[in-house]
Amino acid sequence: MVAKNIGEPVLRKEDARFITGKGNYTDDINLRGQAHAFFVRAPVARAMITSLDCSAAEAADGVVAVLTGAQVAEDGLGSLPCGWMVLSKDGSEMKQPPHPPLAADRINYSGEPFAVVIADTLQQARDAAELVEVEFDELDAVVSVADAQSGPQIHPEVPDNTNYDWELGERDETLKAIENAHHVTRLSLVNNRLIPNAIEPRAAIGDYNSGTDEITLYTTSQNPHLARLVLTAFVQLAPEHKLRIIAPDVGGGFGSKIFIYSEETVVAWAARKLDLPIKWTADRSESFLTDAHGRDHVSEAELAMDENGNFLALRVKTLANMGAYLSTFASAVPTYLYGTLLAGQYKTPNVYVEVQAVMTNTAPVDAYRGAGRPEATYLLERIVEIAAQEMNMDPAELRRKNFIQPEDFPYQTPVALEYDIGDYEASLDKALAMADYAGFSARREASVAEGKLRGIGFSCYIEACGLAPSQVAGSLGAGVGLWESGEVRVNPTGSVTVMTGSHSHGQGHETTFAQLVASQLGISIDDVEVIHGDTGKMDFGMGTYGSRSLSVGGSALMKAADKIVAKGKKIAGHLMDAKSEDIDFDDGEFKVRESNLSKTFQEIAFAAYVPHDYPLEELEPGLTEKAFYDPANFTYPAGTHICEVEIDPDTGVTSVVKFTAVDDFGTIINPMIVEGQVHGGIAQGIGQAMLEHGIYDETGQLQTGSFMDYCMPRADDLPNFDVGMTTTVCTHNPVGAKGCGEAGAIGSPPAVINAITNALGVREIDMPATPLNVWQTLQNATHEDARGE
């Protein structure tokens, strides 16, 4: 049954409060008598703390306390853990160094906090921080990924600065296929380091109630229950039932607000220690220095083909930068979210990938929009593009030739995943038509006539979303289950309050979930309120990341709504003297089949709460249902992105003149919200491809620590996007949805770079393709040509 609400571009319910300044973000919350925290951070990347004297700071005006790593240790606060165990080739467990919330004796990255000043005002805390006397014995820092394994050892627990040496796929078969192939395309590439930059920086308020011995932590979290679990079970902050986490409106996360950080932990701990509400809001500099960064891979790949361009084997070797500590999900990103995606949309029979995770004296690196899948897609779609050049084949046709076909599903890839459904040719064809590929050569001639270079680039991506089947994730090392919970509470008047364990921080769940539940119950979306982000209100939930909310969280809600309808039928049957199996529920009405008897949804709700005429001996009163949903498989959104660029060869300035995205997200509840997600993702992908780059100098100082040096995409860097959809419905979740949150950031970077190399007539250019980089690449190519002639 597809109800009328599903598929409609309903305006977002939450926007009224956001655009009128009525949002309630963590920093909007002020508690009576609250103090402010200011963290004292290391200005060096690697050092021993030889002395630390906080007495002058403690004596300063307004200072309540100065707390250090030693006090954290004294109070028995544990290490911030990494939640996903990855095993090396030899079966050994990954090497994980301890990560104290405040550094006690060793500094491992620039910006690492080693003390916190708590004072009546933020200004007093800031001023007192200047009085903290600290001496460092500086040590040589390890910065570059490529040199990490031969550099000085950062942690005693991690020899060769290597956390693990992981592999996936059939090594021998792959190597044999490469050795015997007609042609092998080889590529080395770097996936540039990114810094997340959500609009709202991280923030936290710790509040302790000594009467109930309960801590409440208001914080910018994508997954408050998971944060509570980690802070209680692992960090030992409090018993789980004595910590409540409230993540109110959150202004963007992109992964960076999944993780358990020092500051939020310390604020909650200090609130109890000092019996005082304590507030901290990161400034932008702190965000740059300490929010978990993204990507940062160095890879080599080989793609083997027969004489007709059929892919025979892919081999990949990757070094992944983990930074100074293993962040919450860091270990999974370059392995189970990366290696498993290297089959892409292609029926390559042999794929073998090796990944070494290395530590450096830089901020921890973890999931960032796409998390592993952008890295896999970039590598695969770059090498396929170069293979087309080398085989002298049309890049679209080479891809088409190797696609997994609709009749091949379910399709078992050589890298663990089983794709349930897809139609890759459909999205390629639609994208080619929308992008007017046939007209490209005429457009290129027109550009050339104006002294410009024009190029077109393709990317056919796939991602694994809807994290995840718990048993599969568990067998691969995940420390948690990955289901989702949902609750539908029907109020006596028939309006509905929905509780979800997912968390919305820009995705518009208050609208999408309301549409979903309203359509299931045949009521107006105005009668549905969606509540999320408070461990005191809803059942345990897993939060939002990995494009999982609709396919997992939405499915839980759909199951809960189905239970409401089933119970409603029993109540309706009683009221209308019919068997519940003879009741049909349609468009908000319970009808007795083959009769004109009916009751509205509101009448049934009222009867459930005012059970004067009610089968109390068989049925409980009330109308509230819960469901937990654990998916049977990942979902596999896929699609084709086509980018067209025009380059001024004199300056290297590159304009994205046309960008087409055709995606298959399965069932779509709200096409406007989906399109918005795609737009945002593409903007981030173009940012990675052309503008953004997190850079440390050789001593481990972050050189791109502000918006002066770290270039975020702006509106005038982007064209109007042409977004289209094709649909194959996910086979294993009740909504039929696949997830749309990350696709834009996953699919777009290789499309942009492929367009730029196509325009320049070169094989390679690294991201970000800044004007200088493009101009230099063009100069080098011109000089090489000149030498060749």
Partner 1 sequence: MQLSQRVEIPVARESVWLALNDHRILMQCLPGCEQFEPSEENCFTIVLLAKVGPVKARFQGQVELSDIQHATSYVLSGAGKGGVAGFAKGSASVQLADVEGSEGATVLTYAVNSSVGGKLAQVGSRLVRGAASKMANEFFTRFVGVVTNNPEQEVLIETIES
For partner 1, the binding residues (CB under 8 A) are: 40-41, 43-44, 110, 126, 129-130, 285, 288-289, 697, 699, 701-703, 705-706, 708-709
Minimum gap (Å) between residue 193 Cβ and partner 1:
15
Q: Quick one: 109 or 164, whose CB is closer to partner 1?
A: 109
Beta sheet of 63-68, edge-to-edge order? 63-68, 113-119, 35-41, 278-281, 203-209, 214-219, 243-246
Q: Which of 306, 336, 331, 471 is nearest to 398 (CA)?
A: 306
Q: Which of 769, 732, 739, 729 is nearest to 753 (CA)?
A: 769
Minimum gap (Å) between residue 706 Cβ and partner 1:
4
Q: Quick one: 476 or 691, whose CB is closer to partner 1?
A: 691
Place of tokens 């459909």: 426
Minimum gap (Å) between residue 379 Cβ and partner 1:
31
Q: How far is CA 420 from CA 428, 666, 735, in A?
A: 19, 11, 15
> CA 253 to CA 259: how far, in whole Å?
10
Q: Quick one: 201 or 639, whose CB is closer to partner 1?
A: 201
Minimum gap (Å) between residue 50 Cβ and partner 1:
14
The two most distant CA atoms of the chain are separated, in Å, by: 96
Provide the token pair at 636.
């596999």
Q: Quick one: 107 or 669, whose CB is closer to partner 1?
A: 107
Return all residues near 309 (Cβ < 8 A) that are at least 6 apart. 387, 388, 391, 393, 398, 401, 402
Minimum gap (Å) between residue 702 Cβ and partner 1:
5
Where is 528: in which H helix or E strand?
strand 528-531
Q: Quick one: 697 or 785, whose CB is closer to partner 1?
A: 697
Q: Which of 419, 409, 414 is nearest to 350 (CA)?
A: 414
> CA 749 to CA 747: how far, in whole Å?
6
> CA 586 to CA 768: how far, in whole Å?
53
Q: How far is CA 147 from the centre of its chain?
A: 28
Minimum gap (Å) between residue 197 Cβ and partner 1:
14
Residues facing 118 on adjacent strands: 37, 65
Minimum gap (Å) between residue 646 Cβ and partner 1:
29
Q: Quick one: 63 or 592, whose CB is closer to partner 1?
A: 63
Contact 80, 292 (CB under 8 A): no
Place of tokens 């890295």: 375
Q: Quick one: 40 or 341, whose CB is closer to partner 1?
A: 40
Q: Quick one: 130 or 179, whose CB is closer to partner 1?
A: 130
With H, G, I as helix, E, B as strand and everything else as coil, classify residue 365: strand
Contact 86, 164 (CB under 8 A): yes
With H, G, I as helix, E, B as strand and everything else as coil, classify residue 454: strand
b/e burial code for range 566-585 (CB count within 10 A of at least 16 → b): ebbbbbbbbbbebebeebeb
Q: Quick one: 128 or 774, whose CB is closer to partner 1?
A: 128
Q: Quick one: 130 or 445, whose CB is closer to partner 1?
A: 130
Minimum gap (Å) between residue 672 Cβ and partner 1:
39
Q: Quick one: 15 or 130, whose CB is closer to partner 1?
A: 130
Where is 128: in which H helix or E strand?
helix 122-129
Minimum gap (Å) between residue 358 Cβ and partner 1:
23
Contact 546, 467 (CB under 8 A): yes
> CA 195 to CA 692: how far, in whole Å?
8
Minimum gap (Å) between residue 290 Cβ and partner 1:
11
Q: What is residue 635's DSSP assignment?
A: B
> CA 271 to CA 215: how far, in whole Å?
8
Length of the chain: 789
Contact 681, 371 (CB under 8 A): no
Q: Which of 82, 27, 83 is nearest to 219 (CA)?
A: 27
Minimum gap (Å) between residue 62 Cβ and partner 1:
17
Minimum gap (Å) between residue 696 Cβ and partner 1:
9
Minimum gap (Å) between residue 288 Cβ and partner 1:
7
First to last CA, the chain: 68
Dihedral, CA of residue 380, residue 382, residue 387 and residue 392, to nearest 10: 140
Minimum gap (Å) between residue 693 Cβ and partner 1:
14
Minimum gap (Å) between residue 289 Cβ and partner 1:
7
Q: How far is CA 96 from CA 49, 80, 86, 295, 357, in A?
A: 22, 11, 10, 19, 11
Q: Quick one: 53 or 697, whose CB is closer to partner 1?
A: 697
Q: Which of 202, 478, 144 is nearest to 332 (CA)?
A: 478
Q: Quick one: 179 or 283, whose CB is closer to partner 1?
A: 283
Q: Quick one: 53 or 785, whose CB is closer to partner 1?
A: 53
Q: Quick one: 154 or 363, whose CB is closer to partner 1?
A: 363
